[in-house]
């Protein structure tokens, strides 16, 4: 064989091995599989001054065909369908969005937006359109009301809760904002409270996705005061003091009413400090009309006494 010429005999020997290798590779390539995927829909580029308040579906279903290994990769990372409202709804040739008003719109599902490997074939998409409702976004200021639950400790009362700030600004879908009659916080629990307190309380917006607040957390101050109660004391004896003669008083008992803090007005220590007496120092025998002295502890106020005048008889 001339020098420099390829040895065809060696190549012929390699052909069977190459054929076997190709057959093996062809036999090892897996068959494409078909499967269904659910893709969450992400609404992007909402026109200025508008909100998406309702949509017919938040997922699309696609049927794909691909190598099993590609399908496994899809399952390893989340895929979303991006619904571009600005592009799909901008029907004004000049490109202005003023032509897009509140209403219900159908957006075509564009398979070119689905972020898929080019080797994956999309066979079917369902639904082919996405229905969305757009509403105008408005802003209003609301005064805040603070509801309460539970009762303070017996003998105590709670004054009206004071929110800080007293009003907030809400922004959201026009239908939702206009439907708010009273803006409240979550209830403040007063159960067994006996001291004033402050608490951070969220607004009660029912987890609406269509409302935002400039201040979602409110500081509520609640003043807790002890009740001022009245107690009637009957048959309070009239004591006679500083008399050198025999004396008697008619009537010899009286009824009074006192008002004071709930926690002290009912205690024996307080009641033992309440007494009535007549000071007859220097008085000679005879019959007199006199007012009594009544000792009332500090913190209590007498609101009633009966009778007011007593007859005193002094005898030798």
Output 71 or 146, whichever has higher pLDDT.
146
- Indicate if 212 and 283 belong to the same structural domain: no
pTM: 0.63
Give the total number of structural domains in the chain.
3
Indicate whether 15 belongs to any domain. no
For residue range 200-255, list pLDDT tens digits in order: 999 998 756 678 888 889 999 999 999 999 999 999 999 999 999 999 999 999 99
- Report yes or no on 24 lying in a domain: no
What local confidence, expressed as pLDDT, does residue 272 receive?
Answer: 94
pLDDT tens per residue across span 139-165: 999 999 999 999 999 999 999 999 999
- pLDDT tens per residue across span 125-144: 999 998 888 999 999 999 99
Domain edge (last residue) among 201, 226, 251: 226
| 158 and 242 housed in the same domain | no
In a domain, 288, yes or no: yes
Better-predicted residue by pLDDT, 219 or 95: 219
Q: Domain boundary at 178, 209, 226, which? A: 226
More confident residue, 105 or 23: 105
What CA–CA distances, in Å, run from 30 to 90, 119, 161, 254, 309? 45, 14, 71, 108, 115
Same domain, 278 and 307: yes
| pLDDT above 80 (res 189) | yes
Which residues have a Cβ under 8 Å from the Cβ of 158 and sit 6 or more positions away?
148, 152, 190, 193, 222, 223, 224, 225
Q: pLDDT tier at 57 (50, 70, 90 boundaries)?
A: confident
Predicted local confidence at residue 149, as pLDDT: 96
Residue range 249-274, pLDDT digits in tens:
999 999 999 999 998 998 999 999 99
Q: What is the pLDDT of residue 94?
A: 47
- Whether residues 233 and 207 share a domain: the answer is no
**Residue 293 and residue 285 in contact, taking contact as beta carbons nearer than 8 Å:** no
Assign residue 162 the CATH number of its domain: 2.170.120.40
Domain that holds residue 89: 33-136
Assign 296 a pLDDT band (cuts: 50, 70, 90). Answer: very high
Q: Rounded to an integer, what distance in angstroms lies between the CA atom of residue 282 and that of residue 287?
A: 14
Is the residue at 5 inside a domain?
A: no
Radius of gyration of the chain, Cα coordinates, nearest whole angstrom: 45
In a domain, 198, yes or no: yes
Select from 80, 101, 136 the last residue of a domain.
136
CATH number at residue 289: 2.170.120.30
pLDDT more than 70, % of the chain: 87
């Amino acid at each position: 064989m001339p020098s420099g010429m390829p040895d065809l005999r060696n190549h012929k020997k390699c052909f069977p091995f190459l054929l076997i290798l190709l057959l093996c590779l062809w036999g090892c390539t897996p068959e494409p599989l078909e499967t269904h995927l659910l893709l969450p829909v992400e609404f992007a580029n909402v026109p200025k001054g508008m909100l998406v308040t309702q949509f017919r579906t938040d997922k699309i279903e696609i049927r794909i065909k691909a190598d099993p290994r590609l399908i496994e990769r899809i399952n390893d990372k989340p895929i979303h369908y991006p619904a571009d409202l600005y592009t799909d709804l901008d029907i004004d040739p000049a490109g202005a969005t003023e032509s897009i008003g509140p209403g219900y719109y159908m957006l075509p599902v564009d398979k070119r937006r689905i972020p898929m490997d080019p080797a994956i074939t999309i066979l079917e998409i369902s639904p082919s359109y996405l229905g969305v409702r757009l509403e105008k976004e408005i802003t209003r200021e609301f005064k805040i009301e603070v509801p309460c639950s539970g009762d303070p400790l017996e003998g105590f009362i709670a004054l009206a809760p004071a929110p800080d700030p007293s009003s907030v600004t809400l922004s959201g879908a026009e239908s939702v904002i206009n439907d708010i009659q009273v803006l409240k916080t979550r209830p403040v629990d007063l159960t067994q409270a006996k001291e004033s307190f402050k608490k951070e309380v969220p607004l009660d917006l029912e987890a609406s996705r269509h409302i935002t607040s400039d201040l979602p957390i409110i500081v509520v101050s609640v003043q807790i005061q002890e009740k001022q109660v009245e107690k009637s004391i009957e048959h309070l004896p009239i004591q006679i003091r500083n008399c050198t003669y025999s004396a008697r008083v008619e009537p010899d008992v009286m009824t009074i009413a006192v008002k004071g803090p709930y926690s002290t007005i009912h205690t024996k220590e307080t009641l033992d400090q309440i007494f009535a007496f007549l000071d007859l120092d220097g008085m000679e025998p005879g019959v007199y009309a006199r007012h009594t002295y009544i000792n009332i502890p500090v913190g209590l106020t007498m609101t009633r006494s009966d009778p007011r005048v007593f007859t005193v008889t002094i005898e030798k």
